[in-house]
Structure 1
Amino acid sequence: MVYYGFIRSSFSLSVAQEKFINKARGKRMKVFKEPMLYVNIWRFLNIAVLIHLWIILETTINSFILILLLLIMTSLRWRFPLPIWSVLVDAIMCLLFFPSTVIGYYGLALPIFELSLKKKGLFSLLFFAGVFFPSSPSNLLFWYYLQAFFFGTFSSITLENQEIYKLEADEQRRDRYELERIKNNLLEANQSVYQQAEIMERYRISRELHDHLGHDLTGASLALQAYEWIEDPKEAQKLIQEVRNRLERSTKSLRDTVHNMTPITLIGAEILENIVQNYQLVDIDFHKTGNMLLVSAHKWGLLEVCLKETLTNVSRHSNATKVKVDLQVTESIVRLSIQDNGIVKETSHTGSGLRGLRIRARSMGGSLSISQKDGFLVVCVIPIDKERLNT
């Protein structure tokens, strides 16, 4: 049962961790959109540069047609993942318009960027030859190509790192799901072992009572029935002696059985009572009501830690002179209330111990509430297992 409680406490910490991971993952998922967002921004900015050059240099129909065709290809790449060979379409269009407009030279920056983005940077270097054409504006064209090559390579590395992070995130997510599945299997297995052990113990007790106590009591009953029909006083005396012997053996057997069933270590509410009795710093008023047998072993572990942690906080941080501990067990819940009469300063945060207890209580479907009015009050409420009530 201690191992079972340890499993519950250790895995329950993953609830807070899971919330933090989901929050961080949500922020990072927004970051996932940024690389492609900047890639598309660069593409359309390059189209805007071509439009600006068309306005200030030449407003011919050929330049407008080229810009329109490049804009269509850019829009297609924005909406659909085009294959790598589609870069040839941009390059061929720019080469065809070389004789009629200088916009074609600047348009080669788009295929250079796309090839660098697809990790084909060496092929993109071929388009740098456009700088050496006789009619090209070579004074700025080389640097224009270079920035396209640089941003394409940088975007390629960024997208690759993004994919690596996605794979790592998926792997971690699968590991968390597998860990959650193993946790549930362990909890179910421990609960099953606990129930099986309880059933086997009941079976052992019933067999022991049947084999020893039952036979002697049955023999005594039959001897008493035979005593009514015996007329010989000596035979009647023997039957009475036999009844006496059987009853003595039955009493001894019952006493031994009860002695063997009595646990050596403290269990259940006895643990809480022992903690209260050994606490000497302040007076503790302990009350309990209800059927304590309804509470399973791992829930007693949480109640024990809750009582110890609260009493430790009383000794460290409170000037209380009296503590009231109330344990209530109903058919649906177990409620542990601990309140002192000390004067405490109200704070907006709690210690790590109480935070851990709150997480453990939530993992069991319960809650742990704290109040700092009229002293310090801790209330732990845990639901009773329905399966246990039906056994």
Structure 2
Amino acid sequence: MKSYMEPARFVNGWRLLNLGFLTYYWISGEFAAYDFILLLFLILLTSLRWRFNLPAWSVALDAFVCFLYFPYHAVSYYGLALPIFELAQRGKWLFALLFFIGLFVAPFPSAWLFCYFVLALFVGFFSYAYSLNQQQYKEEADEQRKARYELERVKIDLLAAQQSVAQQAELMERYRMARQLHDHLGHDLTGAALALQAHEYVEEPDEAHKLLQEVKRRLKRSTLNLRETVHNATPIAPIGVENLEYVALYFQQVSISFRKSGDLLRVAAYHWGLLEACLKEALTNIARHSDATKAEVKVEAAGSIIRLLVQDNGTVRQSQQPGSGLRSLKMRARSLGGSLSVSGDNGFLLVCVLPLREEE
């Protein structure tokens, strides 16, 4: 992460420059012991502000000492630049203007002193504005970070809800099929079995014939109900790995070899949706950016993962950054706890790995 210079560096740098200027001004003039005491006091207060966050009213000490030294040396007038800067740096520039009264009591031309005060006021106000901007930037960064965390949490909640809905739908379908088989097929088969048992004890031919006809009728009806149940449970559109085979089969640009292995029945429906999107995106990129003549698609369920691999035998015509489609798929894969990697070094290669849910 790129680091930015803290406002405290500007503040402390300006303080050092002021102290250096005052020291030079004192040395270049007539030496006096009491002027050294003034400089020592200003250096002490500046060092305390460097180390601690003193309250704004503490600048009154600097100003009071400077006013006391007005009759003795001109360095005390320039010393007022320190409280002017400190007040402006804390956003109290109106109070800093009060110290400009030192211009009217100075016993020498105050043009340079006025410029010096204005510079101290400007630098202090600039430091104050810079601090506010940096604080605002940090708050906005915190808000964005908080929003990203909330978005990730919402994604996790939505994924959990999606998994729960898929499980509930599967359980409801199982319950519907079980109820239908029990209510229709079970009763007919039970009735046919009872009729056959009764046929063994019937001596009259007509009665035995009726029982056999009843058995045939019930078996025929059971067969029709069983076929209807299976037909209704079979999806019309291809799903799961069959859908991936369908997409690969009808891709006309290159010849595709499709292989599958493992227990693919363990793969959830929402996993197949992402794998289908990855396969379509990979085939689209092969058609647009590769000169391949054939491609290989592998779908493997091994252990606790499901892996999709798509690779062609061509070369990528141009090196490009991943587009919005691949970036979106990578985010979806991460939200499911998996990963998506793409390479163009040896032909176009896409590998998507997703974790399988543990069997209950």
Deviates more, 1:251-260 or 1:168-177: 168-177
2:300 corresponds to 1:309: no
Distance 1:37 1:124, change over 3 A: same
Distance 1:118 1:357, change over 3 A: closer
Distance 1:218 1:183, change over 3 A: same
Deviates more, 1:357-366 or 1:61-70: 357-366
Aligned-pair distance for 1:282?
Answer: 2.9
Q: Structure 2 CA distance, aligned partners of 1:369 and 1:147? A: 56
Equivalent residue for 1:200, pick from 151, 172, 176: 172
Describe the SS at the equivalent of 2:256: strand
2:292 corresponds to 1:320: yes
Distance 1:260 1:150, change over 3 A: same
**Is the contact made by 1:53 and 1:103 (CA closer than 8 Å) also made in structure 2?**
yes
Equivalent residue for 1:230, pick from 199, 202, 222: 202
Q: Structure 2 CA distance, aligned partners of 1:260 and 1:347? A: 49
Distance 1:75 1:198, change over 3 A: same
Distance 1:373 1:146, change over 3 A: closer
Equivalent in the alignment of 1:152:
124
Equivalent in the alignment of 1:42:
14
Q: Spell out, residue by residue over 1:336-378, the C-alpha distance to the aligned partner (whole angstroms, 9 max, x if none).
A: 2223333556858555544543443333333334455664433
**Is the contact made by 2:84 and 2:97 (CA closer than 8 Å) also made in structure 1?**
yes
Aligned-pair distance for 1:379?
Answer: 2.8
**Is the contact made by 1:326 and 1:337 (CA closer than 8 Å) also made in structure 2?**
yes
Equivalent residue for 2:71, pick from 99, 107, 111: 99
Aligned-pair distance for 1:385?
Answer: 1.8
Q: Which amino acid aligns with 2:29?
A: L
Equivalent residue for 1:81, pick from 36, 47, 53: 53
Distance 1:133 1:362, change over 3 A: same
Q: Structure 2 CA distance, aligned partners of 1:277 and 1:134? A: 94
Deviates more, 1:329-338 or 1:90-99: 329-338
> TM (normalized to structure 1)?
0.84
Describe the SS at the equivalent of 1:339: strand
Deviates more, 1:105-114 or 1:230-239: 230-239
Q: Structure 2 CA distance, aligned partners of 1:117 and 1:372? A: 55
Deviates more, 1:273-282 or 1:252-261: 273-282
Q: Structure 1 CA distance, aligned partners of 2:315 and 2:127? A: 61
Aligned-pair distance for 1:144?
Answer: 1.5
Equivalent in the alignment of 1:60:
32
Aligned-pair distance for 1:292?
Answer: 2.4
> TM (normalized to structure 2)?
0.91
Q: Structure 2 CA distance, aligned partners of 1:334 and 1:204? A: 29
User: Which aligned pairs between 1:334-349 and structure 2 lie closer than 5 A?
Assistant: 334-344=306-316, 347=319
2:268 corresponds to 1:296: yes
Equivalent in the alignment of 1:216:
188
Equivalent in the alignment of 1:362:
334
Q: Which amino acid aligns with 2:232?
A: N
Q: Which one has the bigger helix percentage?
A: 1
2:153 corresponds to 1:174: no
**Is the contact made by 1:66 and 1:94 (CA closer than 8 Å) also made in structure 2?**
yes
Q: Structure 2 CA distance, aligned partners of 1:102 and 1:375? A: 79
Equivalent in the alignment of 2:155:
183
Q: Structure 2 CA distance, aligned partners of 1:214 and 1:285? A: 45
Q: Structure 2 CA distance, aligned partners of 1:142 and 1:76? A: 27
Q: Spell out, residue by residue over 1:236-271, the C-alpha distance to the aligned partner (whole angstroms, 9 max, x if none).
A: 322222221111111111111111111122211121
Q: Structure 1 CA distance, aligned partners of 2:165 and 2:7? A: 53
**Is the contact made by 2:290 and 2:317 (CA closer than 8 Å) also made in structure 1?**
no
Q: Structure 2 CA distance, aligned partners of 1:53 and 1:374? A: 72
Unaligned runs of 5+ in 2: none
Q: Which amino acid aligns with 2:205?
A: P
Describe the SS at the equivalent of 1:286: strand
Aligned residues: 360
Q: Structure 2 CA distance, aligned partners of 1:108 and 1:158? A: 23
**Is the contact made by 1:94 and 1:105 (CA closer than 8 Å) also made in structure 2?**
yes
Q: Percent identity?
A: 57
**Is the contact made by 2:199 and 2:208 (CA closer than 8 Å) also made in structure 1?**
yes
Distance 1:111 1:134, change over 3 A: closer
Q: CA RMSD in A?
A: 2.4
Unaligned runs of 5+ in 1: 1-25
Aligned-pair distance for 1:291?
Answer: 2.7
Q: Structure 1 CA distance, aligned partners of 2:24 and 2:275? A: 74
Equivalent in the alignment of 1:5:
none
Greater relative contact order (CA < 8 Å, ≥ 6 in sequence): 1
Distance 1:174 1:147, change over 3 A: same
**Is the contact made by 1:116 and 1:149 (CA closer than 8 Å) also made in structure 2?**
yes
Aligned-pair distance for 1:380?
Answer: 2.4
